[in-house]
Amino acid sequence: MADQDDEGAAGLESVSDPVGGEVSAPAAIAPEGGGAPSNGRRPKWLVPVVVAVVVVVVVVAGLVGWRVVESRRHGAALDSCSRAVKTLKGKTGSDRLAQYREAAGVKSDQVKDAKTVAAMRRSVKDAEGIRQPTVRCKPSMSTGELNATADQAGRIDGKYAALSKAAKGVIASRDAKALEDARAALDGKKEEASRLLADSDGKVADNATRDGLQQAINQAGQTRGDTARRPTRMRRMRCRRPSTG
């Protein structure tokens, strides 16, 4: 009986002794609340959370930057559109439209060069009539809409620039013909007056009438740029004294 107790004690000692002289490490103690052991390692959930936060920050920063850039682009588009519309209004005001309509009403026989009337007709047709364009720039419009409106205003402005040039050509040609006709009429009257003056020599009792007619002829010559001179016979007649019988 005593031998069996000694053998059991020896067996227990052999089990409790470390194998190979190693010292066993103490068991890890889990923290309260079921967390991971506090052995210096990062929790598994930490990396995904950090990544998610970084992604959110990048997305927010990108959205803010995009809004700033888009706001600047919208402001530049609004400014460009407003300037284009202002330039167009300078060519399509009520006074300018009245001038275009006046020129469009001029006929070919009223101008010195009929080509100006044909050019005016083409310009009116290209502009699709003479009327006030309805082009507006609003802050509520998108950047794309503002750019499209600016382009539209630029195209219409080009058409009215051609219309303005054509209208000036028609008016200038009309005035040139009117001046030419007036000079021709003046020349005709001057020739008629000169004949009348020559035919009246010695046939009027009062020379004041003939002197007045001569002055009118002289003024007509100066108006046209000519220098009218009195006939030599007229000067001699004025120096002649009336006969005493």
Amino acid (one-letter) located at 208: A
Question: The whole model's pTM is what?
Answer: 0.54
- Where does the pLDDT of residue 241 fall: very low under 50, low under 70, confident under 90, or very high at 90 and above? very low
What gap in Å lies between CA 124 and CA 116, rounded to an integer?
A: 12
239 or 154: which leads in pLDDT: 154
The 10s digit of each residue's pLDDT in 18-43 is: 444 444 544 444 455 445 555 557 67
DSSP letter string, 154-166: HHHHHHHHHHHHH
What average pLDDT does the chain have? 74
Cβ atoms of 116 and 173 within 8 Å: the answer is yes
In this structure, the dihedral spanned by the alpha carbons of residues 244, 234, 223 and 208, taken in order and rounded to 10 degrees, is 10
Q: What is the pLDDT of residue 182?
A: 83
Q: What confidence score (pLDDT) does residue 102 get?
A: 95
pLDDT tier for residue 130 given thresholds of 50, 70 and 90: very high
Q: In 3D, which of 239, 231, 111, 130 has the Cα closest to residue 180?
A: 111
Q: Binning pLDDT at 50, 70 and 90, where does residue 161 land? A: very high
* Averaged pLDDT for residues 44-56: 76
- Considering the chain, what percentage of its residues have pLDDT values greater than 90? 40
pLDDT of residue 64: 75
The string of pLDDT tens digits covering residues 201-214 is: 655 555 566 566 56
Q: At what angle do helices 115-126 and 143-199 cross, to 10 degrees?
A: 160
pLDDT value at 8 more than 80: no
Helices 207-224 and 143-199: crossing angle in degrees, nearest 10, is 150
Q: What's the rounded mean pLDDT across residues 121-138?
A: 92
